[in-house]
Amino acid sequence: MKVKTTDTLFKHLSACINAFERHVDCRRFLTGARWRPRSLARLARAGEWSVILEGTPDYIDPFGHVWDWKTASSTYNGHEAANWMIQPTSYTYLATKVSQQAIHDFTYAIAVKPHGDMQFIDVTRTEKDWHWLSRIAIGALMMTRTMLDQPWPVNHAHYLCSPHWCAHWTDCRGKYLQEREEP
């Protein structure tokens, strides 16, 4: 069984690497590259408290465009990426603060397993998106400050809330319910 798992891993890895070589012009990333170390920027302030955003964008190209490399078992939904994904908002904000120039463009470059098809999703984030991210952060900060001795609110409206994906399942939702099989 272990050999089969290893074979599958290497097939997926090979397919994804080949897809990147075919569809991503890596020569463009060799000149003018701005690989960033882990960066910090203040996102929000509430009284004496601050929320600091920390992260490392995969790559910022010479044109001030943030790239993020992904592998996935299925294609991403472009509409969801444009409207709800928080990573483009976080990384364009962080890149803007660190570089001290406006960076609004973000691209997901996704190698889809098992065949390594490539999907590119371009997302634009503006100051309005960054203000909304700040509002989310302040809400989380205020909730955290007022709930020090209280149970944390839970939300199980996502497939990651399962024993397969969450190490805390047994002590959280798993105390009450069993995961249901698909119909």
Question: pLDDT tens, 43-56?
Answer: 999 999 999 999 98
- Phi–psi pair at 95, nearest 5 degrees: -65, -40
How far apart CA 35 and CA 48 sit, in angstroms, is: 33
| Residues in contact with 79: Cβ distance below 8 Å, sequence separation at least 6, in sequence order | none
Mean local confidence (pLDDT), 128-132: 96
Check whether 34 has a pLDDT greater than 60.
Answer: no
Question: pLDDT tens, 141-177?
Answer: 999 888 888 887 887 777 788 888 889 889 888 888 8
Question: pLDDT tens, 52-105?
Answer: 999 988 888 888 889 998 888 899 999 988 888 999 999 999 999 988 999 999
Half-sphere exposure of 60 (CA within 13 A, CB side): 23
Mean local confidence (pLDDT), 174-181: 78
Looking at residue 1, its pLDDT comes to: 43
Helix (H, G, I), strand (E, B) or coil at 97: helix
